[in-house]
Each structure stands twice: as structure tokens, then as C-alpha cells.
């Protein structure tokens, strides 16, 4: 099973709402990622988790709050978003990175399409 599952596939939320995006993998991967992708643009890295701990935050605004409750799950909590946050949010996972070993494959989910109104 090389699948990363993201829910929901589509989400529409108001600027005052609180919602969450969920991601799950059962490949035993200990590194998980959130990316954001705007239309016609490449994915942009947001967060990286290693062993359920946040290891990289690419200066993402605090209205995006990641959480990794266990080794299989990754959440992205959304609060007080702006219309410009509307995008495709991609979750990904890989084997844990070790120094000098960056040949690991990263597996991506299908993404969650978020619209902020």
C-alpha cells in the first residue's frame, strides 16, 4: 500500500470558521509534509514532521496549525483564513530522512481543495 489519503477532497469555509484537513498513511513513514499549491503554480512546502515532531516550518502564518497525533496521521487546523488561502493542500510522506540519504521517495496524496469565502 503506497497510498496517502486526504480528507475532505473539497472544503468551503468562511473566514470566521474553524476547520481541519486530515491526512493518513500506513506505509510506516516517519516523515510527513504539508504543501500548498495555487493554480498553475508549483507546490510550496509548508511544514515537515519527523517522528511526530515539527522539524520545518516555512514561515507559515499562525492561522495554519499543523498537528501530528501519531505516526500515521497528520492534521492541518485552519482558523480565520483569508480568501487568498484558497488553494490545493497536499499531504505527503516518506521514510525518515537520514544524513546523506535524500534518495527516499516522497508519496503525495490527491490533495484537499480549499475555498475560503
**Please, are residues 25 and 5 in contact by the beta-carbon 8 Å criterion?**
yes
- Cell reading at 98: 537520514
Determine if 109 is a binding residue for other proteins (CB under 8 A): yes
**Per CB under 8 A, 44 contacts other proteins:** yes
d(CA 62, CA 103): 31
Q: Specify the residue, 83 or 101, whose C-beta has the smaller distance to other proteins.
A: 101
Q: Quick one: cell of 16?
A: 470566521
Instruction: Pick the closer one to other proteins by CB: 13 or 31.
Output: 31
Query: Which parts of this chain interact with other proteins (CB under 8 A)?
Result: 4, 31, 33, 42-45, 48, 55-56, 90, 92, 97-111
Amino acid at each position: 500500500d503506497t497510498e496517502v489519503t486526504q480528507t475532505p477532497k473539497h472544503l468551503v469555509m468562511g473566514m470566521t470558521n474553524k476547520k481541519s484537513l486530515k491526512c493518513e498513511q500506513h506505509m510506516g513513514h516517519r516523515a510527513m509534509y504539508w504543501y500548498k499549491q495555487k493554480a498553475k503554480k508549483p507546490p510550496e512546502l509548508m511544514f515537515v514532521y519527523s517522528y511526530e515532531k515539527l522539524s520545518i516550518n516555512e514561515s507559515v502564518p499562525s492561522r495554519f496549525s499543523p498537528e501530528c497525533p501519531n505516526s500515521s496521521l497528520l492534521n492541518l487546523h485552519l482558523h480565520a483564513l483569508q480568501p487568498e488561502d484558497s488553494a490545493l493542500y497536499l499531504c505527503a510522506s516518506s521514510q525518515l530522512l537520514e544524513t546523506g540519504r535524500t534518495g527516499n521517495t516522497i508519496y503525495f496524496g490527491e490533495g484537499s481543495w480549499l475555498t475560503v469565502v
